[in-house]
Structure 1
Amino acid sequence: MSLSDVDRLLLQRCLDREPRAWQNFVDRFVGLVVHVVQRTTDGRGLQIDSATRDDFVAEVFLVLVRHDFAVLRRFRRQCSLATYLTVIARRVVVRRLHAMQNEAAGGHAHAVASTNGHAGVHPANTHSAIERIDNTEQIEYLMTRLDDREAMIVKMFHLEGKSYHEISQEIGVNENTIGPTLHRARLKMNPQ
């Protein structure tokens, strides 16, 4: 999906520091950021309270305005603004979770609980989860360059850990086509 004219104008108004532009930007994208924060933490088996969620959301917007909107100025406008903001928000949440993990490792548990109800972040489990989050987010972002079938195969193989046989059975394609499809998809995802 490409950058819409509405978002292009809103972005430019923010970068030009026009009156109320930032407030309009926040109003337009706060729901998206809240959703990304919630989905990122829920998807990793973590529950956060509303105050922590609000801190994460505020931190995302602080990252966006920091250094005269440096993150927004780096936006290449080759995808939708929502897609770009989703990637940024997830990275902020991952960094924050990593920092919370380090605090927990030092004996300073924060307002995070696993879904099994035990308080705190468990360092041994969270460290590998943080690395997986980084890889997952990168793959999900790069998958936007693929057609639907390629994206499905990449997701099943790289994110869900399914074998070629399982993929072929599930989507009804010849098992011998999975490897070449993954190869073509990797070339599209990394065109250098």
Structure 2
Amino acid sequence: METSPADAQPCASSPAPATTVEEVLFLPPQSSAPALCPDSEVAPSEEAGSEPWAAAVPPEWVPVIRQDIQSQRKMKQQPPLSDAYLSGMPAKRRKTMQGEGPHLSLSEAVNRAMRYTGAKPETSAESLRRELDSSEVQVRYRDQLCQDIQKILQDNESYSPQRFPNTPRAFQGDP
């Protein structure tokens, strides 16, 4: 009698090759499924904990997967592409990626946002434009923008003040 390749392999605690993490995490366990190692009793690892996926992977993978899960939960949103990167793209692709382009002023940005969302100002549109164009609002807007940029730069691991010496001058203090 011939033995199949599956019979020739020793029993392992690994899941079937077609099993994916998504299947383990999101599909209910099937009680009628045959055991992976029917002839031997494999004690569940103490590391397995209460996660359903931990039983479906080798025990040495559990800490690595847990670490990956934690690091992926903490991932930040990708920042926008730099001007240098965009300028290296073909013109047609650059246009489709950039859309309408940057907003030139605070009042234009607010007006576009209002049109997009369908919001109506409590006062007239002209009154809102005058308020947004006032020097006090412009100064506060610039200060907030500088604070936001400073926060982004502090959190950005690839930013180097030595490499970009004019950044503090551009985004700190008075213009």
Same fold (TM over 0.5): no
Q: TM-score range, shorter-chain basis?
A: under 0.3
- Structure showing greater relative contact order (alpha-carbon pairs closer than 8 Å, 6 or more residues apart): 1
Which structure would you say has the larger Rg? 2
**How high is the TM-score relative to the length of structure 1?**
0.20
Higher helix fraction (1 or 2): 1
What's the TM-score, normalizing by structure 2?
Answer: 0.21
